Amino acid sequence: MAKCIVVGGGFAGLSAASLLLENGIDVHLIEASPKIGGRAYSLYNEKFDDEYDNGQHILMGCYYNTISFLKRIGSLDYLDFQKSLNIPFAHRGNKISFLKTTEKHYPFNLLAGLMNYKAITVHERLKIIDFLIDLLFCYEEDLENITVKEWLNEKKQPGNAIKAFWEILVVGALNTKPEKAAASQFAHILKKMFLEGDEASVLVLPNASLNKIFVETSLKYILGKGGSYYVSEKLNEILFDDKNRAATILTDKNSYSDFDFVIVAVPFYSLLKIKPFDEMFKNYKAVFSYSPILNVHLWLKENNFSQKFYGLIDSKIHWLFNHKKHITLVTSAADNLIDLPNEKILGMFYSELESYFNLFQRENVVDWKIIKEKRATFIPNNNFCSVRKKIDSPFSNLFFAGDWTDTGLPSTIESAVYSGHLAAEKIISKLVTA
C-alpha cells in the first residue's frame, strides 16, 4: 500500500487525507499546533456552556469540493441548505430588505429576486442585471490588469448599487475592498455563484461548531480508514535524493523515510519556515499581503433576533449571525479596526447595532469575546493572482496544498479543500498510471 505524509491539519490537509484514504492510500498526518483545524477552530464558553467559532464561515451551493468532502466524512447533517437564495439586509433605522429568489425557473428567478431587492432603486437594479448579463460574455483574461472598483466603474455601476450590493459581495467573498481586489478573481467567483444554476447561489449555514463539522468527523474518518495523525509536531526540513524525490522528513520530534508521497498543506508564511522552501520561495514573500477579519461574539440575556443571519448595509459590521445563545458580528477587511482596543470596538459595535435594530440594547449583553485574525486571508490583488500561477513543486513525489495555491479561488474554505483534492488527485493519478 502506498503511503503519504500530509503536513498540515487545516482544511487542505484534512480534505487531501480523506480523499487519499478513500482511494486506499495510507495517510500519516502531522500538525505543528496542538490542535487540528488550522485557522478555523472552535472555543468554549464555560459560563454559558456554549461552543463558539473563532470566526463565522458561510458556505455556498457552489462550494462543490467542500460539500463533497463533508459528505465523505459524514458531516452534511451539520449543515442547513437554503432552498433558494434568501438574504435579509438591515438598514439604519430598523428596516430590513430581502434579496430573495424563488425555487424554480432559473435564471428568471434570480432576475426577479434582484428586481425585488428594495435596498436600491429600480434603475440601480437594472444596472446590476445588465452587469450580470454582460458577465455571460466576459473573459477573465481580459480583466487581469484592473481592480474590481475599476471594473464596476467601467460598467457604470451606480454608487448606491456598489455600496448596497457589489461591495457586500466583494468584501464577503474576497475579504478585500474593491479598490484592491483583482477583477478577474471576482469575475470567476460571480460566474460560480450566479451562472451555474439555482443550487450554486444558495447559502449553506452551519448548525454546529467548526469543531463538530470539520475536525471531529475528519479525525474519526482518518482513524476509521486506518490512517494516523499527530499534533504538536513541527516540520523543519525535507531532504531530497538525487532523483529529485523527497526522501526524508525531519520534524522536531521524528525522522520519516518510510513514505512514497508528501503533501505540504500549510499557509504560505509557514512554508517559508521549512527548509528548503525558505530559500526556494523567499522572493515571493513580498507578494503575499494579508487581510484581517474581526469577530465579536455577544451573549445576550434575551435574544430577540428572528433571522438566522443579517447583512448590514453601509456599516462597520458586515454580518450578524444568530446562534441563539450568542450572536456573532463579523467585519471583513477590518484593517481600520483590528488594532483598536477591545472596549472601543465594543462601544462602536453597540452603537451600530442600536442604529440598525430597535430590538438590541447594550444592557442586554452579559458576556463578550473578541477574536482578531490578523492574517485571516491573503489579498487577491492582480500582482498576487499573476505570481500565484508560477508557484509549483519541482519534486516528483511532493505536492503543495493550501488556499494560496493556484486554485483560481480566493482565500476561502472551498479554495483550501479544493487544493487538498487537487494534490490528492495528482498522487492517485500517478499510482493509476504507474
- Fold category of 3-40+209-288+380-433 in CATH: FAD/NAD(P)-binding domain (3.50.50)
Amino acid at 130: D
Evaluated on CA atoms 384, 269, 9, 277, the torsion sign reads positive
Q: What's the pLDDT at 104?
A: 83
Q: Tell me, what amino acid is at 200? A: A
Spatial distance between the Cα atoms of 434 and 428, rounded to a whole number of angstroms: 10
Task: Please check whether the two domains, 3-40+209-288+380-433 and 290-378, share a CATH topology.
Answer: no
For residue 434, the model assigns a pLDDT of: 67
Cβ-Cβ contacts under 8 Å for 95 (sequence gap 6 or more): none
Name the pairing type of β-strands 290-300 and 326-332: antiparallel
Q: Provide the residue-wise pLDDT of the chain in tens; the chain has 434 residues.
A: 899 999 999 999 999 999 999 999 999 999 999 999 998 889 999 999 999 999 888 899 999 999 999 999 999 999 999 999 999 999 999 999 999 998 888 888 999 999 999 999 999 999 999 999 999 999 999 998 999 999 999 999 999 999 999 999 999 999 999 999 999 999 999 999 999 988 999 999 999 999 999 999 999 999 999 999 999 999 999 999 999 999 999 999 999 999 999 999 999 999 999 999 999 999 999 888 999 999 999 999 999 999 999 999 999 999 999 999 999 999 999 999 999 999 999 999 999 999 999 999 999 999 999 999 999 999 999 999 988 988 889 999 999 999 999 999 999 999 999 999 999 999 999 998 86
| CA 182 centroid distance within chain | 17
One-letter-per-residue 3-state SS of the chain: CCEEEEECCCHHHHHHHHHHHHCCCEEEEECCCCCCCCCCCEEEEHHHCEEEECCCCCEECCCHHHHHHHHHHCCHHHEEECCCCEEEEEECCCEEEEEECCCCCCCHHHHHHHHCCCCCCHHHHHHHHHHHHHHCCCCHHHHCCCEHHHHHHHCCCCHHHHHHHHHHHHHHHHCCCCCCCEHHHHHHHHHHHHCCCHHHHCEEEECCCHHHHHHHHHHHHHHHCCCEEECCCCEEEEEECCCCCEEEEEECCCEECCCCEEEECCCHHHHCCCECHHHHCHHHHHHCCEEEEEEEEEEECCCCCCCCEEEECCCCCCEEEECCCEEEEEEECCCCCCCCCHHHHHHHHHHHHHHHCCCCCHHHEEEEEEEEEEEEEECCCHHHHHHHCCCCCCCCCEEECCCCCCCCCCCCHHHHHHHHHHHHHHHHHHHHHC
- Residue reference for cell 494534490: 423
Residues with Cβ within 8 Å of 363's Cβ and at least 6 positions away in sequence, in order, are none
Nearest of 154, 96, 166, 178 to residue 125 by alpha carbon: 166
The architecture CATH gives domain 290-378: Alpha-Beta Complex (3.90)
Strands 326-332 and 319-322: antiparallel
Alpha-carbon gap, residue 248 to 26, rounded angstroms: 17
Q: Does the bond joining 107 to the residue before it have cis omega, within 30 degrees of 0? A: yes
> What residue spans define the domains of the chain?
3-40+209-288+380-433, 83-201, 290-378
pTM of the model: 0.95
